[in-house]
Amino acid sequence: MIQKDPPGIVIYLQQEGRGIGLANKIAAYSLQEQGLDTVDANRALGLPDDCREYTSVRNMLRDMGVKSVKLITNNPRKINVLTKLGIPVSGRIPCLVEAGAYNAGYLEAKRDRMAHMLPEGDGELNGDFCFWDHSGEPTQAIITTAAKGGMDLPAGLAHGDNGRVVPVAAESA
Protein backbone atom coordinates (compact mmCIF):
# COMPACT_ATOMS: atom_id res chain seq x y z
CA MET A 1 0.00 0.00 0.00
CA ILE A 2 2.71 2.50 0.93
CA GLN A 3 4.61 1.54 -2.21
CA LYS A 4 1.58 2.49 -4.32
CA ASP A 5 0.88 5.73 -2.42
CA PRO A 6 4.10 7.05 -0.84
CA PRO A 7 5.34 8.38 1.47
CA GLY A 8 4.65 6.15 4.43
CA ILE A 9 6.11 4.54 7.51
CA VAL A 10 5.40 1.20 9.14
CA ILE A 11 6.01 1.21 12.88
CA TYR A 12 5.87 -2.18 14.56
CA LEU A 13 5.63 -2.33 18.33
CA GLN A 14 6.26 -5.67 19.98
CA GLN A 15 3.10 -5.58 22.08
CA GLU A 16 1.70 -9.05 21.51
CA GLY A 17 -1.92 -9.71 22.38
CA ARG A 18 -2.91 -6.04 22.75
CA GLY A 19 -0.01 -5.56 25.15
CA ILE A 20 -0.50 -8.58 27.44
CA GLY A 21 2.61 -10.39 26.22
CA LEU A 22 3.16 -13.59 24.31
CA ALA A 23 2.67 -16.05 27.20
CA ASN A 24 -0.61 -14.42 28.23
CA LYS A 25 -1.69 -14.28 24.60
CA ILE A 26 -1.20 -18.05 24.33
CA ALA A 27 -3.20 -18.56 27.55
CA ALA A 28 -5.95 -16.33 26.13
CA TYR A 29 -5.97 -18.39 22.92
CA SER A 30 -6.52 -21.51 25.01
CA LEU A 31 -9.55 -19.91 26.64
CA GLN A 32 -10.84 -18.81 23.24
CA GLU A 33 -10.62 -22.40 22.04
CA GLN A 34 -12.81 -23.29 25.03
CA GLY A 35 -15.48 -20.77 23.99
CA LEU A 36 -14.54 -17.37 25.38
CA ASP A 37 -14.28 -14.48 22.98
CA THR A 38 -11.12 -12.37 22.79
CA VAL A 39 -12.36 -9.84 25.38
CA ASP A 40 -13.62 -12.39 27.91
CA ALA A 41 -10.44 -14.46 27.56
CA ASN A 42 -8.30 -11.50 28.63
CA ARG A 43 -10.67 -10.65 31.47
CA ALA A 44 -10.78 -14.26 32.70
CA LEU A 45 -7.01 -14.08 33.05
CA GLY A 46 -7.33 -10.83 35.02
CA LEU A 47 -5.89 -8.82 32.14
CA PRO A 48 -7.11 -5.60 30.50
CA ASP A 49 -8.85 -5.57 27.13
CA ASP A 50 -6.04 -3.51 25.60
CA CYS A 51 -3.00 -2.15 27.39
CA ARG A 52 -0.82 -1.11 24.48
CA GLU A 53 1.17 2.06 24.96
CA TYR A 54 2.03 4.46 22.13
CA THR A 55 4.36 7.07 23.65
CA SER A 56 7.28 5.58 21.73
CA VAL A 57 5.33 6.06 18.47
CA ARG A 58 4.83 9.74 19.28
CA ASN A 59 8.52 10.09 20.04
CA MET A 60 9.61 8.36 16.82
CA LEU A 61 7.24 10.42 14.68
CA ARG A 62 8.42 13.65 16.32
CA ASP A 63 12.07 12.67 15.78
CA MET A 64 11.33 12.05 12.09
CA GLY A 65 9.46 15.36 11.75
CA VAL A 66 6.12 13.72 10.89
CA LYS A 67 3.33 16.30 11.29
CA SER A 68 0.28 14.01 10.95
CA VAL A 69 -0.59 10.40 10.21
CA LYS A 70 -3.14 8.40 8.30
CA LEU A 71 -3.54 5.10 10.14
CA ILE A 72 -4.27 1.66 8.74
CA THR A 73 -6.53 0.53 11.58
CA ASN A 74 -10.02 -0.43 12.63
CA ASN A 75 -9.31 0.42 16.27
CA PRO A 76 -10.76 3.72 17.54
CA ARG A 77 -8.71 3.44 20.74
CA LYS A 78 -5.51 3.65 18.72
CA ILE A 79 -6.73 6.83 17.02
CA ASN A 80 -7.83 8.37 20.33
CA VAL A 81 -4.61 7.53 22.17
CA LEU A 82 -2.39 8.92 19.40
CA THR A 83 -4.53 12.07 19.25
CA LYS A 84 -4.24 12.52 23.04
CA LEU A 85 -0.47 12.11 22.70
CA GLY A 86 -0.44 15.06 20.31
CA ILE A 87 -0.21 13.19 16.99
CA PRO A 88 -2.77 14.61 14.53
CA VAL A 89 -4.59 11.75 12.80
CA SER A 90 -5.56 13.04 9.36
CA GLY A 91 -7.37 9.91 8.25
CA ARG A 92 -7.99 6.22 8.62
CA ILE A 93 -7.56 3.40 6.13
CA PRO A 94 -9.71 0.40 7.08
CA CYS A 95 -8.10 -3.02 7.22
CA LEU A 96 -10.85 -5.51 6.53
CA VAL A 97 -10.51 -9.25 6.26
CA GLU A 98 -13.02 -11.81 5.09
CA ALA A 99 -15.13 -13.29 7.85
CA GLY A 100 -14.93 -17.06 7.82
CA ALA A 101 -15.75 -20.00 10.04
CA TYR A 102 -12.74 -19.45 12.30
CA ASN A 103 -12.56 -15.67 12.58
CA ALA A 104 -16.19 -14.47 12.43
CA GLY A 105 -16.62 -14.58 16.22
CA TYR A 106 -13.32 -12.77 16.71
CA LEU A 107 -14.29 -10.03 14.27
CA GLU A 108 -17.73 -9.72 15.88
CA ALA A 109 -16.15 -9.37 19.34
CA LYS A 110 -13.77 -6.71 18.05
CA ARG A 111 -16.68 -4.81 16.46
CA ASP A 112 -19.34 -5.29 19.14
CA ARG A 113 -17.26 -5.28 22.33
CA MET A 114 -14.25 -3.14 21.45
CA ALA A 115 -16.00 -0.71 19.05
CA HIS A 116 -13.73 -1.60 16.13
CA MET A 117 -14.89 0.05 12.95
CA LEU A 118 -16.04 -3.02 11.05
CA PRO A 119 -19.20 -3.32 8.96
CA GLU A 120 -22.33 -5.04 10.26
CA GLY A 121 -23.13 -8.46 8.83
CA ASP A 122 -20.86 -10.57 6.67
CA GLY A 123 -21.53 -9.04 3.27
CA GLU A 124 -18.93 -6.30 3.55
CA LEU A 125 -16.15 -8.28 5.26
CA ASN A 126 -14.82 -9.43 1.93
CA GLY A 127 -11.10 -8.83 2.28
CA ASP A 128 -10.99 -5.91 -0.16
CA PHE A 129 -8.76 -3.90 2.16
CA CYS A 130 -6.69 -6.73 3.57
CA PHE A 131 -2.99 -6.30 2.89
CA TRP A 132 -1.97 -9.69 4.25
CA ASP A 133 -1.08 -12.58 2.00
CA HIS A 134 -3.04 -15.50 3.44
CA SER A 135 -1.63 -18.16 1.13
CA GLY A 136 -0.19 -21.07 3.03
CA GLU A 137 -2.33 -20.52 6.12
CA PRO A 138 -4.14 -23.53 7.54
CA THR A 139 -7.67 -24.09 6.27
CA GLN A 140 -8.82 -25.60 9.57
CA ALA A 141 -8.49 -24.33 13.12
CA ILE A 142 -5.46 -25.69 14.91
CA ILE A 143 -6.28 -26.88 18.41
CA THR A 144 -2.97 -26.80 20.22
CA THR A 145 -4.40 -27.10 23.71
CA ALA A 146 -6.15 -30.37 22.88
CA ALA A 147 -2.80 -31.88 21.94
CA LYS A 148 -1.28 -30.73 25.23
CA GLY A 149 -4.18 -31.69 27.44
CA GLY A 150 -5.82 -28.29 27.36
CA MET A 151 -5.92 -25.65 30.02
CA ASP A 152 -8.39 -25.55 32.88
CA LEU A 153 -10.85 -22.68 32.96
CA PRO A 154 -10.30 -20.03 35.63
CA ALA A 155 -12.32 -20.31 38.82
CA GLY A 156 -15.91 -19.18 38.37
CA LEU A 157 -16.19 -20.36 34.75
CA ALA A 158 -17.46 -23.61 33.25
CA HIS A 159 -18.32 -25.12 29.88
CA GLY A 160 -22.00 -24.48 29.06
CA ASP A 161 -24.29 -26.90 27.26
CA ASN A 162 -23.87 -24.96 24.01
CA GLY A 163 -20.07 -25.18 24.11
CA ARG A 164 -19.60 -21.59 25.26
CA VAL A 165 -17.85 -20.70 28.50
CA VAL A 166 -20.32 -19.46 31.10
CA PRO A 167 -20.05 -18.12 34.64
CA VAL A 168 -20.63 -20.68 37.38
CA ALA A 169 -23.64 -19.81 39.52
CA ALA A 170 -22.58 -18.90 43.05
CA GLU A 171 -23.63 -21.50 45.59
CA SER A 172 -26.03 -20.38 48.31
CA ALA A 173 -24.63 -20.28 51.81
40: annotated active-site residue: no
3-state class (DSSP) for residue 16: helix
Is 58 catalytic? The answer is: no
Catalytic residue among 52, 58, 77, 111: 52
Which residue of the set 43, 50, 58, 92 is catalytic?
A: 50
Buried b (16+ CB within 10 A) or exposed e, 84-99: eeebeeeebebbbbeb
- Alpha-carbon distance of 18 to 41, in angstroms, equals 12
Distance CA 29, CA 129 (A): 25
Are the CB atoms for 160 and 166 separated by under 8 Å?
yes
Instruction: Report whether 153 contacts 159 (CB < 8 A).
Output: yes
The helix/strand/coil state of 7 is coil
Which of the residues are catalytic?
50, 52
